[in-house]
Structure 1
Amino acid sequence: MSQTTRILFALLAGIAIGILGANLGWTTAATIAEPIGNLWLDALRMTVVPLVVSLLITGIARTADSARGGKLALHSVLLFVGLLWLVTAIAAFLVPALLKLWPMPQQAAAALNAALGQTRPEVGAAPGLADFLKSVVPTNPIAAAANDAMFPLILFATLFAIATTRLDSDARDRITGLFSAIERAMLEIVNWVLWIAPLGVFALAFVVGMKAGTAAIGALAHYIIIVSSAGFVAWALAYPLAVFGGGVRLRDFLRAVAPAQAVALSTQSSLASLPAMLRGCQQLGVPVEVAGVPLPIAVAIFRVTSPAMNLAVALYVAHWMGMDLSASAIAAGAVVAAITTLGSISLPGQVSFLTSVTPIALAMGVPLAPLGLLVAVEMIPDLVRTVGNVTMDVAATTALGRRQRNAKDGEPDL
């Protein structure tokens, strides 16, 4: 049984046994389980700041190295960065609209909040433009990290990483080597914490089942549909990009990308889908020597569905808590979502979920406690993430292949 399956099983078992315990009056068991679940959440939170900073610095270094690999590599990086920001902006408008049209049932939200011991956070008036801009630049990055001020901390880490790329290779390698080592050490700790995730998730789910009952099941299903919709939109953008940007027929694109989608669906891995993606690009008329540049960059650095779906998770939790987020809070979350995507590459689903969503939630002032439950059902949205990433990778490579072909033929770039 995989770790993902064990965590999902722990969630379902915890809710089911909790519902049974509520009928049998197991109040003492709930009193014991609640601190166990909270300790597990705290263990995850302690890794967030050093892990996010180190991943961001090494991710930007990888992006810069890829962009130095010639015009095709540079155009690939620019296209993928543009797509990341586009899908993030779409999610910032789409998810609140969906939640307004189809809100989470109030009784379920209240029951889950009571189960998690959460109250509606106090949300003050939206800050003015001057106050917002003043809060963006950290006067003390260490204090920003200590206070979980993720937006200014990420801005500092981003500027630091960009400055690192301007150094000579020896100095740059020493800095990135240090943060790469920190990254590996923190991931080792995260793996330890995730090894006991079934226990932590079971404890949280047991308390939720005791206090919220069957409302928890309906709420989690509602969450999966809303968050997956953000991924489906990012996924859907691949088809017009292939048709209008790549100049291929929709039927041909559907046929060429289907094997890669099947591999992605069965493995939940873009990397495992790379051979099938290369074959699909060949069928669409993109030579291997051309497809061999953007596809590895896409697999190694970019995940186009991630910022949209990560932002959707934070927006959903805010909706769950009854928070009325300001436009500036949503904008801050969108910026953090787009930037931190660079640091979530090649990580297991649960790890990338936590390291990517936590900074967004902190930047928006959204509570983190619900993430302990939501990570348990990440397996289902992760299927949407992976298949959407693979589809967009092939579509973008097809568009880049057409641009490269036109440049060789002396035609204007598209």
Structure 2
Amino acid sequence: MNATFKVLLGMVFGISVGLIINIFGFNNTGSWANEYLTNGLFHIVGSMFVNALKMLVVPLVFFSLVSGVCGIGDIRLLGRIGSKSFALYLLTTALAIATALVIATFFNIGDGLNATSDASFSGREAPPLSSVLVNIIPSNPISAMSNGEMLPVIFFSIIFGVSVLMVGKKAETVSDFIEALNNIMMKMVSIVMAVAPYAVFCLIAKAIANLGLDLLAQLLGYVLVLIGALLFHLFVTMQVILKVLSGLNPLTFLKKMRSTQVFAFSTASSNATIPVTLRTVTKRLGVNNSVASFTVPFGATINMDGTAIMQGVATVFIANVYNVDLGMMGYLTVILMSVLASIGTAGVPGVGLIMLSMVFVQVGLPVEGIGLILGVDRLLDMVRTAVNVSGDAAVSTIVSKSEGQLDESVFNDPQAGNESDLAEAKA
């Protein structure tokens, strides 16, 4: 039984157990299941696993980026990889939000719902673009690392790697040392992944047990349209882009991404999934580590296709609920805001709601409307995170192929990377 099947099995059992707890009312406040299972065992094991993944993120991003920059060996090549990645990430985000607006408008979701909500949500205004640009450069890189601010960490890592390249032979010891540390971090990823099936079971079981089916039924239209838009972007838009720009087989790509998508679904965090995405992209898809170590953490920071789709669908839904006519300019504002807000947004659970509040402020929708979708957002956050990491992997593959840094024999081999961790553990 390979690792992917174990994780999928954990996911199926988690959904089953969560539904049983929820449907039969075992999860009532103060009940044994609520205290010792949902908020006890499931919460503890799931949180420990997510924390373990997050523990790896900053050192893995730093060492892999510096190692990747040194491995590229050419500053001009680094510039090409960076510019291609940035352009593709922004393009896919713009396509995602536009697709979501078209689909949500076509189905006219929320029209006549007249829903009310006791939930509250405090929004915030979008920071000016100048502030976003200034904050990319960390005044204190150690502080940025401790706070998990990924864009500043990426900036510092790239500058550090470029400096090592420019020093040349005198810095070879540093380069070799960082390469060794990068290998150690990847081994730590393998250790943490060994408990993944059990952690996935706990994370899914808790999420399903806490999700009220009554609220899910009330918001069924919103949920179905959003999931439909997410799946359309994943299985149609992204695969067409992959086929056109790289010529690779989309079905092969999707099969090899399954385990990563399950991890992303379980954690609802692009950043926490970075170690898994990085391993899949290099070991399973054949992307050279020097490219993947740049494009994957970069994508986890600025590529928010799934979140952008949520913003589009939620905007149309809330506008219909409150009978607000956005008009063409309103929709264009949503597209622009979603693309800009995706830059520098942390890939952590729930951040999509913060971004959505920024969009609502800009187009004049009541921010308290977000309270209507709070109850189902956690589950939907899990789905859109799976779309986000798939986009990271697709762009990494396209950029790697365009630079001649893709091993197509690995990409086309169904078993490539499947048992690599097991073989390493035995060795």
Residues in 1 aligned to 2:12 and 2:385: alpha-carbon distance in whole angstroms:
9
Sort the Cα spacing of 1:264 and 1:14 in 2 relative to 1 into closer, same or farther, 3 A: closer
Q: 1:9: Cα distance to partner?
A: 2.1
- SS of 2:304's partner is helix
Structure 2 letter corresponding to 1:17 = V
Q: Kindly tell me: are residues 360 and 314 of structure 1, through their superposed partners in 2, closer, same or farther at Cα, counting changes over 3 Å?
A: farther
Q: Structure 2 vs 1, CA of residues 93 and 135 (structure 1 numbering), >3 Å: closer, same or farther?
A: same
Range moving further from structure 2, 36-45 or 309-318: 309-318
Question: For 1:207 and 1:263, how far apart are their aligned partners in 2?
Answer: 32
Alignment of 1:66-85 (within 5 A): 67=74, 81-85=82-86
- Aligned partner of 1:199 in structure 2 is 198
Whole-angstrom CA distance in 1 between matches of 2:83 and 2:132: 25
Secondary structure class of the residue paired with 2:125:
coil
Q: What's the offset of the Cα at 1:26?
A: 2.8
**What CA distance in whole angstroms lies between the structure 1 residues aligned with 2:337 and 2:231?**
26
TM alignment of 1:245-394, pairs within 5 A: 299-302=288-291, 310-313=303-306, 315=308, 330-331=339-340, 333-334=342-343, 358=347, 373=382, 381=390, 385=393
1: distance between equivalents of 2:94 and 2:381? Answer: 26
Q: Please tell me whether the aligned partners of residues 243 and 250 of structure 2 are also in contact (alpha carbons under 8 angstroms).
A: no
One-letter amino acid of the structure 2 residue matched with residue 231 of structure 1: M
- CA deviations on 1:58-106 (whole Å, 9 max, x unpaired) are 111112x2x49xxxxx7x7776555323311211311222232335999
Q: Deviations over 1:172-211 (max 9, x none)?
A: x222222222222222222222111111111111122223
Q: Which runs of 5+ in 1 are unaligned?
A: 69-73, 108-118, 240-256, 275-295, 337-356, 398-414
The alpha-carbon distance between structure 1 residues 41 and 93, as it changes in their structure 2 partners (threshold 3 A), is: same
C-alpha separation between the residues in 1 aligned to 2:385 and 2:2? Answer: 13
In 2, are the aligned partners of 1:235 and 1:305 still within 8 Å (CA)?
Answer: no
How many angstroms apart in 2 are the aligned matches of 1:361 and 1:376? 10
Distance 1:194 1:394, change over 3 A: closer
1:86 aligns with 2:93: no
How far, CA to CA, are the matches of 1:10 and 1:105 in structure 2?
Answer: 36
1:1-400 aligned within 5 A? 1-27=1-27, 28=33, 29-32=37-40, 33-63=42-72, 65=73, 67=74, 81-102=82-103, 122-171=122-171, 173-212=172-211, 223-229=230-236, 231-238=238-245, 299-302=288-291, 310-313=303-306, 315=308, 330-331=339-340, 333-334=342-343, 358=347, 373=382, 381=390, 385=393
Q: Secondary structure at the match of 1:138?
A: coil
CA distance in 1, matches of 2:71, 2:122: 40
From the superposition, tell whether residues 91 and 189 of structure 1 become closer, same or farther in structure 2 (CA, over 3 Å): same
| In 1, Cα distance between equivalents of 2:50 and 2:177 | 27
| Shift, 1:364, TM fit | 11
Contact 2:306 2:388 survives alignment (8 Å): no
Distance 1:146 1:394, change over 3 A: closer
Q: Provide the C-alpha distance between the structure 1 equivalents of 2:88 and 2:23, rounded to a whole number of angstroms.
A: 45
Tell me which amino acid in the other structure corresponds to 1:198.
P
Distance in 1 (alpha carbons) for counterparts of 2:351 and 2:200: 21
Question: Are the aligned partners of 1:150 and 1:363 in contact in 2 as well (CA < 8 Å)?
Answer: no
Residue 142 of structure 1 and its aligned partner are, at CA, apart by 0.6
Q: Conserved in 1, the CA contact under 8 Å of 2:230 and 2:384?
A: no
CA RMSD of aligned residues (A): 4.9
How far the C-alpha of 1:39 sits from its partner, in A, is 2.0
Amino acid at match of 2:154: I
CA distance in 2, matches of 1:12, 1:313: 23
Q: Offset at 1:121?
A: 7.0
Do the aligned partners of 1:230 and 1:308 also contact (CA within 8 Å) in 2?
A: no
Query: Which residue does 2:365 correspond to in 1?
Result: none
Are 1:87 and 1:234, in contact at CA under 8 Å, matched by a contact in 2? no
1:52 CA displacement: 0.6
Cα contact 1:201–1:373 (8 A) shared by 2: no
More divergent stretch after superposition (34-43 vs 77-86): 77-86
* C-alpha distance in 2 between matches for 1:264 and 1:15: 26
Number of paired residues? 316
C-alpha change, 1:35 and 1:320, in structure 2 (3 Å) is: farther
Please give the secondary structure, in 2, of the residue aligned with 1:137.
coil
8 A Cα contact 1:227 1:312, kept in partner: no
CA contact (8 A) 2:81 2:291 kept: yes
Deviates more, 1:120-129 or 1:361-370: 361-370
Q: Aligned partners of 2:385 and 2:126: how far apart in 1? A: 33
1:377 Cα shift?
Answer: 6.0
- When the two structures are superposed, what TM-score results if normalisation uses the length of structure 1? 0.58
CA change 1:38–1:335 in 2 (3 A) is closer
Q: Between 81-90 and 46-55, report the one with greater CA deviation.
A: 81-90
Q: Taking structure 1 as reference, are residues 40 and 391 closer, same or farther at Cα in structure 2, changes over 3 Å only?
A: closer
